[in-house]
Amino acid sequence: MQIKPITIGNITVKNNVWMAPLAGYTNYPFRKLCYKLGAGLAFTEMVSCKGLKYGNENTTELLTTGEEEKVKAAQIFGCDPEVMRRACEGEALAPFPIVDINMGCPMPKIYNNGEGSALLENPALAERVVSEVKKSGKIVTVKMRTGIRAGQEITEEFARRMEGAGASLISVHGRTKDKIYAGEPNYAEIERAKRAVNVPVMGNGGIFSKEDADRMMERTGADGVLLARGALYHPRLFCEIFEREKPPFKELFLEELHDTFRLYGEHFAVVFMRKMASFYVKGMRGANELKNALFQCKSVIEIEEIVNGLNWD
């Protein structure tokens, strides 16, 4: 794929290979890791605007950031345009010039509340959300799916309406809500979105290798790719796409572990990094035994001891 900068609003991002927002995973230490490996942009986990309205501590903690994150981008979700605008005008989101509105989450607790992918069924409300959030002064982007059910895709018209409401970039996960993560992405639908709008379009879904990224670009004409589970399992996928030398993974893991410990404390660091390690060791010889050993760990030191004994590369 062609590596190139992307301009959204008044911000130019250095390249077009980004890390998608993933609930429960894309906290600040993981985003730092992605940036170190070359990501042009990395989004926070999706943040509830209602949670920000009521000052929920767990919600604001999702917005932890730091000076290493040169361009800051948060993903928000909700369905009340005024609440979402006020959240974007608030202190918690002040460090983030870019906000991405989630219009693709398929999880029942989000969908049944009229949020996430439910907005695909209510394009008029989705337009009001975008236009109202735009009033906050943020650069607004939208992450959407191709529709609710296969065979009833709405990608082209919905993307056009989001651009008209003020979105400066649109990311399209090439699957309908009912597919969750199953099956090959619908490249044709992403291409339709690209042809329908004048703002940049990012292709998302099914990218686990450089070849997958190349295929996404070739089949859709998208302006860039948004990595998700592929980078969660193998963060050095960024290096593969950029055709750069991969740094030793053990060093990357320990840096993420220590950053997580420093920011969130030992209990969170142990639970979170055990979970991350279970992704990272997938495909390694003896992976099940390693995961079992990691899930017995109660301290950062115990995790370090196991990690230092592994040949990651």
Q: Tell me the DSSP string of 130-148.
A: HHHHHTTT-EEEEEEES-S
Nearest to 262 by CA among 308, 235, 300, 303: 300
CA distances in angstroms from 258 to 127, 140, 251, listed in the order given:
42, 33, 11
State both tokens at 80: 């009340």
Terminal-to-terminal C-alpha distance of the chain: 25
3-state DSSP assignment of residue 6 = strand
CA distance 278 to 300: 15
Contact 88, 138 (CB under 8 A): yes
Contact 55, 265 (CB under 8 A): no
- Point out the catalytic residue in the list 34, 79, 88, 105: 105
105 given a catalytic annotation = yes
3-state DSSP assignment of residue 261 = helix
State both tokens at 116: 């996430």
Active site residues: 105
